[in-house]
Structure formats: C-alpha cells, structure tokens
Amino acid sequence: MDALTFLRADHESVLGMIESLERGRGNGEAELAARDHLATSLVIAASQHEAVEEQFFWPAVRRALPDGDELADRALAQEESGKRLLQRIDDSEVGTPDFEGALTEFIRALREHIEFEQNQVWPRFGQAQSPQELEGLGEKMATAKKTAPTRPHPATPSRSGAQKTAGLAAAVLDKARDLVTGRRSHRPPDPPAP
C-alpha cells in the first residue's frame, strides 16, 4: 500500500474513534466503560500513527519538497501538542472535567492537523514522489506500525533517529505494560487495506 493510502486509512480510523467519543458522552456505567475502552484505543492508534510519521513520513517530506523542513516542523509542533493532550487523556478518568477538556482539545487539534496534512502536504508530496517511492515508504510505515509505541511519550524527541531508537525502546516497554495490565485488548484493529 502506498504511503498516502496508508496514512489516509489511519486518519479515517482515528476520526471514526473521535466521532464515536463525541457522540457517547453519557454518564452511565456501561457508557463510561465503553468510552474508556474507546479512549484507550484512540491513544494507542494515535500514538502509533504519530511515531510512524515521525520515523518515516516527515523525513521524506523534508527530502522531497523545497519547503519540506518548514512543513515538517509545523506538523511536528502540532503532533507534540497532540501527544501532551493524549497523555492527559490517558492519565485522566473518563467523564472527569480534565478528561473531557483534553479530549475536546485533542479532537479540535487532530482535525486541524489532518486538514493540514491532507490538503497542504499530501498533494505536493504525492506529486514529488514516484509511485515506487510512495509504495516503498508505505511498506516501511506499515511494518514500523507493528512495533510502534502504544503510548504518547511527549518527552521523546520527534526526530526520526530518536524515534527509531528511544521510540523503539519505549514501544517494547509499552507492549510489556499493555500485556501485564490487559490494555493490549484495547489495541484497535489495523484499518483495512484498500
């Protein structure tokens, strides 16, 4: 699958989760449990997605486009803010004011970030890359997602090298913690291939 198709499938999956979280703001025990499960799935999916972008997509944008550094820097700043919000979501109890506030901020920021990527970066990046380059990048990202961190790690630098080293170590710890705590069952399924 090519890089932009891979990223679009991830975006659609995450957008589906936030739409469900926006609709299900009830306070009943079953509703809160369902929101908790879905919020954990959102944190996992968004954390993996951002780690993969930081490892592969944004470095490719930097190389491919004349203003790639500026575009990548803007996107990474958005992602850093998103990681801090994801951490608040992960640390907060569902239904509390901090959880709901962080979720509302994250949803707004996520939609803004996706709009920037899809409308400003992807068209230009897609034109600057050959189909083979897009396919190769997509394969690397799909492989990397399997070993990506499942938590936001806002203190880990967004640079590709840091993500490939410190991010990999964080991912190993995340997966061990997920297994011990049962959080592993909240991992969302991979989006279907087109």
pTM, whole model, 2 decimals? 0.83
Counting residues of the chain whose pLDDT is more than 90, the rounded percentage is: 65
Q: Does 120 fall in a domain?
A: yes
- Pick from 6-10, 119-123, 144-148, 152-156: least confident: 152-156
For the chain, the domain total comes to 1
| Nearest Cα residue to 98 out of 39, 175, 148, 182 | 39
Judged against a pLDDT cut of 60, whether residue 167 lies above it is answered with no
Domain that includes residue 155, residue range: 3-186
Q: Does 84 fall in a domain?
A: yes
Which CATH number covers residue 69? 1.20.120.520
Q: Does 193 fall in a domain?
A: no
- Confidence class of residue 152 from pLDDT cuts 50, 70 and 90? confident
Which residue type, as a one-letter code, is found at position 185? S
- Pick from 19-23, 62-66, 163-167: least confident: 163-167
Q: Does 194 fall in a domain?
A: no
